[in-house]
Amino acid sequence: MTQLFWFAFIKGYSTTAGLIIAIGAQNAFILRQGLIKSHVLILALLASIIDISMIYLGVKGLGLVIASHNYLMLTAKYGGILFLFFYGCKCFYSALFKTSSIDDAHITGKKSLSSAIITLLAMSFLNPHMYLDTILLIGTVGAQLPENQRLYYIAGAGTASVIWFFCLAYGARLLTPIFQKPIAWKILDAIIGVIMWSIALSLFYM
């Protein structure tokens, strides 16, 4: 049993770690909130719960349901494109026309808790890449394991998710000295804008 546990746990951990580390919309938002130290614990925890829930549903077979109903993916696809496009516009506007330091960002960049949660939920559920990664890819791999190994797989995948989001959220403050300079915020906003538009463009051609 111990060998089966570690096999499934490590498989879940490595599969998730390999996919989650790519900087996407959700990660970029967590990083920015970490830099301004705004609702860090709740957002990192919520992002982890979303990931684990989606992986669990994928292992339980939701990926097959989504794959068999194209309209579900199309709805998520075009909703995600619109959201990511306008969020990218907001980032480019900040990069071009706003001058911010780390102190300014603490004041102007902070969202209310409800607003931050809504933004994270939109970043997660309006992004079809989230469904592709957590449900269709990570979940499908886990679904192929024997029934008695699947919970171990989910535990490994969940561990990778929790470690990543908390390291991203709390590790961001190590970059604080860099973001004392206004140009650093402009570069970050521009990079996030590029990420948002790149994801939107990749969704368009899916």
What is the spatial distance between Cα 206 and Cα 194, in angstroms, rounded to a whole number?
18
Hunting for tokens 């409800």 — which residue is that? 114
Q: Tell me what percent of the residues of the chain surpass a pLDDT of 90.
A: 13
Where does the pLDDT of residue 41 fall: very low under 50, low under 70, confident under 90, or very high at 90 and above?
very high
Phi and psi dihedrals of 197, rounded to 5? -70, -35
What gap in Å lies between CA 48 and CA 66, rounded to an integer?
22
- Distance separating alpha carbons of residues 143 and 8, to the nearest angstrom: 11
| Domain with 29 in it | 2-204
Q: What is the model's pLDDT at position 107?
A: 46
pTM for the full predicted model: 0.74
User: For the chain, what is the domain count?
Assistant: 1
For tokens 């949660």, name the residue.
117
Query: What pLDDT shows up at residue 127?
Result: 75
More confident residue, 121 or 184: 121
d(CA 167, CA 148): 31
Q: What digits encode the pLDDT tens for the residues 85-119? A: 887 898 888 878 876 555 555 544 566 888 889 98
Q: Is the dihedral of CA 115, 18, 36, 29 positive or negative?
A: negative
Residue showing tokens 């480019």: 92
